Amino acid sequence: MPNKPYDQLVAELDRIFYIQSVCRLLEWDEQVNLPSGAAEVRASQSAIMAGLHHQSATNPEIGEWLEALEQQSDSLTDDQKLVLKEAAKSYRRITRLPAEFVKRRASAQSKSYHAWVKARENSDFETFAPFLQEQIDLTHEEANYLGEGDAVYDYCIDKHDPEMKASTIEKLFADLKTDLIPLVNKIVDSPVKPDFSILKGFQVDRQEAFLKTVVRDIGFDFKHGRIDQSIHPFCSGIGSDIRMTTRFDEDNPIDSLTGAVHEAGHGLYDQGLPRTHPGTALSDYVGMAVHESQSRLWENQVGRGRAFWNYYEPQYREVFPEQLKAVSSEALFLAINGVKRNPIRFESDEVTYNLHIILRFEIEKQLFDQTLAVKDLPEAWNALSQEIVGLTPKNDREGVLQDIHWCDGSFGYFPSYCLGNMLAAQLWYTVLDAIPGLESEIEQGNFTSLLSWLRETIHRHGKRYNTLELTRRATGKPLGPDALIRYLKERYLPLYN
């Protein structure tokens, strides 16, 4: 039975999606290609496109179609109900914010960004504090407009990982922390130390060719995507046109390679989402935690694993014969899986990384509980860093000022990284049970069954289930830290004796 308001809604959602995809393409181009003299014209282009997107997304007709559909919701299919629910949520969020507020927030974000860059440069938190306070106040104000003022931090988390709650994360992280801190202590206190200095002078053009081969082997479709260079690696685009980036360092080739495999994991997820109606929840990803689980499973469980390197090491040695001739297989594998306490989150290994996230979650929670004042933030950060990560940063630049996330009010984003790690490990053990020969397949450079399993178990569902429900369906268990701890112990304890 044709349903006119539903069809009109879907057509409009698709149109809005394509407008937004043009905005993202402009951003990609800005990071990858833009000549330095074109920054001003790009800012105008981006502002016009953002205005067009906002105008379309707040089109009052959408409100009318949603209302008509809500009145006949009994006659809708489950898929239609899902599309309706998610479209109504986005529409509410975008239309309930007064234009004056949106403008004021954008201007505050831009000022805050520049203040953060400067404060970070000078390692001077005090100059950034008023801007951060303003971002927190704006977040409260935003949540109030949306009727979510009673649980502001939950609202922040929901923006990145829909339906996830701070109380759920608190319990998961508390359990993870209990097992993870002693495990990290054991690894970093081991007399076995990775020697990162063995990986020096890896020519960038060869690195690039090698990582493209790897990314193609694991299933990334270059007919529907590409990989370029940028200062900060990212993955954007839509399923049929994925744009991802990596960066190169002659003296840190593993970072480029694992970074590219990470972004390819995001790209594989996007390429695997249903494409029929790209503007609807049927084709959308679940949230950042599930997205990160996909990138991290390929980067860590697969890309740092023994089976993977048994296959790629001979090829790697062929590409870099001089650099690797005096490096043993054990030393190479240890450097790939190097663990070391580091004050900087994004330079951290996959074991200690989780501690950095727990630290940020605890700080954000206190900021929004209002049990921590902005002026006391550096002291609280340093004390918690010592307690959780096991070191005190030398200064604010290496501490509380290191991340970009807070300067534009992206609170509630950090937890997704660690939830993604938990889910990745849980998926890994599930797929090993489901496909007993998987590791021997990987050892032969065959990643087809793993990718098909992820397509079937995760990708094809779009946004049908939230993170917790999808985890239960995919793994038969609730999301928890046990698989991650098991995986880290099995991978790292034998390596570090």
Q: Mark the segment that binds Zn ion (CB under 5 A) among 238-246, 291-299, 446-454, 485-493.
A: 291-299
| Binders of Zn ion in range 5-24 (CB under 5 A) | none
Of 295 and 467, nearer to Zn ion (C-beta) is: 295
Closest distance between Zn ion and the C-beta of residue 24, in Å? 16
Of 258 and 295, nearer to Zn ion (C-beta) is: 295
Closest residue to Zn ion, judged by C-beta, is 295
Q: How many CB atoms lie within 10 A of CB 33?
A: 10
Closest distance between Zn ion and the C-beta of residue 262, in Å? 6
Let me know if 263 is a catalytic residue.
yes
Residue 416 touching Zn ion (CB under 5 A): no
Q: Mark the segment that binds Zn ion (CB under 5 A) among 290-298, 369-377, 406-414, 478-486.
A: 290-298
Q: How far is CA 344 from CA 68, 352, 357, in A?
A: 51, 10, 11
Of 295 and 382, nearer to Zn ion (C-beta) is: 295
Closest distance between Zn ion and the C-beta of residue 244, in Å? 10
To the nearest 10°, report the CA torsion of 136, 138, 139, 144.
130
Size of the site for Zn ion (CB under 5 A): 1
C-alpha–C-alpha distance, residues 7 and 61, integer Å: 13
3-state secondary structure 36-77: HHHHHHHHHHHHHHHHHHHHHHCCHHHHHHHHHHHHCHHHCC
Closest distance between Zn ion and the C-beta of residue 157, in Å? 17
C-alpha–C-alpha distance, residues 279 and 59, integer Å: 15
C-alpha–C-alpha distance, residues 343 and 353, integer Å: 10
Closest distance between Zn ion and the C-beta of residue 212, in Å? 19
C-alpha–C-alpha distance, residues 142 and 106, integer Å: 12
C-alpha–C-alpha distance, residues 130 and 364, integer Å: 16
Closest distance between Zn ion and the C-beta of residue 73, in Å? 36
Closest distance between Zn ion and the C-beta of residue 263, in Å? 7
Closest distance between Zn ion and the C-beta of residue 403, in Å? 14
Closest distance between Zn ion and the C-beta of residue 294, in Å? 9
How many CA atoms are closer than 13 Å to the CA of 62, on its beta-carbon side? 25
| Binders of Zn ion in range 355-384 (CB under 5 A) | none
Q: Mark the segment that binds Zn ion (CB under 5 A) among 271-279, 294-302, 449-457, 466-474.
A: 294-302
Helix (H) or strand (E) holding 162: none
Closest distance between Zn ion and the C-beta of residue 261, in Å? 11
Nearest alpha carbon to residue 471 among 463, 480, 462: 480
Of 266 and 491, nearer to Zn ion (C-beta) is: 266
Token pair of 213 as six digits: 């081969």
Of 299 and 396, nearer to Zn ion (C-beta) is: 299
Of 219 and 265, nearer to Zn ion (C-beta) is: 265
Cβ–Cβ < 8 Å for 173, 361: yes
Nearest alpha carbon to residue 91 among 133, 59, 125, 44: 59
83 class by beta-carbon count within 10 Å (0-12 exposed, 13-18 middle, 19+ buried): buried
Out of 295, 382, 421, 467, the only residue in the binding site for Zn ion (CB under 5 A) is 295
Of 20 and 295, nearer to Zn ion (C-beta) is: 295
Q: Mark the segment that binds Zn ion (CB under 5 A) among 157-165, 250-258, 287-295, 463-471.
A: 287-295
Strands (E) in 181-266, as ranges, are 225-229, 235-238, 241-246
Beta bridge partners of 226: 243
C-alpha–C-alpha distance, residues 120 and 440, integer Å: 47
Cβ–Cβ < 8 Å for 125, 396: yes
Of 264 and 282, nearer to Zn ion (C-beta) is: 264
Of 382 and 416, nearer to Zn ion (C-beta) is: 416
Of 19 and 215, nearer to Zn ion (C-beta) is: 215
Interface mask toward Zn ion for 141-180; x: CB under 5 A = ----------------------------------------
Cβ–Cβ < 8 Å for 364, 411: yes
The DSSP annotation for 338-350 comes to: -----S-GGG--T
Catalytic residue among 12, 86, 134, 263: 263
Which are the contacts of 354, defined by CB distance < 8 A and separation ≥ 6? 176, 180, 418, 421, 484
Q: How far is CA 303 from CA 20, 33, 258, in A?
A: 32, 29, 7
Active site residues: 263
Please give the residue ranges that form the binding site for Zn ion (CB under 5 A).
Answer: 295
